[in-house]
Amino acid sequence: MSDRIAPAPGGAGGLAAGRARLTREALAAWGEAAGRALAGTGRVVLLSGDLGAGKTTLAQAIVRGLGVVEPVTSPTFTLVHEYDAPLGRVRHLDLYRLHRPTDLDALGWDELVAGDAVTLVEWPERAAGRWPAGAWHLTLAAPPDDPGARDLDLEVLP
Ligand SMILES: Nc1ncnc2c1ncn2[C@@H]1O[C@H](COP(=O)(O)OP(=O)(O)OP(=O)(O)O)[C@@H](O)[C@H]1O
Ligand SMILES: [Mg+2]
């Protein structure tokens, strides 16, 4: 794994797997570039991290990268937000309130991850064991010494 996440040939849709420490602005710019790279791929993007780590902030940037200009809100209460973005359909899920595997089935998880929309998933741990091959797993963490920064890790699931 390289030590920074930057546009690069190969890797995940032109974004190299790795880790970077990013300001809020840099995270937004990275997410917008990622959104452009994800256009038309139908890829699943799993967003891990503690409360307030920046999962929604990053999901919103990815959705903007796909060309959505309307305000992007957190899907916490609706579980799934869907956008017919200029660069392709995108879904934003927040599984925080899911507690049983049957809830995942009621949501239509298998169909959502197999669909051709780019699918962004907050709290993917609620779907542990059901992550699709090829998904991007992004993990955000707040470094203890810098409240304005976040460490972002990208792993492409085998
Ligand atoms: N470098 C950074 N990148 C992203 N967010 C940052 C950064 N620095 C500070 N923040 C702040 O951290 C907060 C992240 O909130 P956000 O809702 O995106 O987190 P979340 O991981 O989705 O939380 P939740 O688990 O509650 O859904 C925002 O208030 C944002 O302004
Ligand atoms: Mg959130």
In a domain, residue 63? The reply is: yes
**Model confidence over 74-128: pLDDT tens digits?**
665 568 899 999 999 999 999 999 988 889 999 999 999 999 999 999 999 999 9
Q: Is the CB of 138 under 6 A from ligand 1?
A: no
In a domain, residue 132? The reply is: no
**Are the C-beta atoms of 1 and 139 separated by less than 8 Å?**
no
Ligand 2 center to 9 CA (angstroms): 30
Q: How many distinct structural domains can be found in the chain?
A: 1
- Residue 14: pLDDT band (50, 70, 90) is very low
In a domain, residue 83? The reply is: yes
In a domain, residue 137? The reply is: no
Ligand 2 center to 88 CA (angstroms): 22
Ligand 1 center to 92 CA (angstroms): 16
Domain range for 31? 23-126+142-156
In a domain, residue 74? The reply is: yes
Q: Is the CB of 143 under 6 A from ligand 1?
A: no
Rounded to two decimals, what is the model's pTM? 0.91
* CATH code of the domain in which 87 resides: 3.40.50.300
Terminal-to-terminal C-alpha distance of the chain: 14
Exposed (0-12), middle (13-18) or buried (19+): which is 145, by Cβ within 10 Å? exposed
Cβ neighbours of 117 (radius 10 Å):
19
**Model confidence over 23-62: pLDDT tens digits?**
999 999 999 999 999 999 999 999 999 999 999 999 999 9
Ligand at shortest distance from the CA of 53: 1
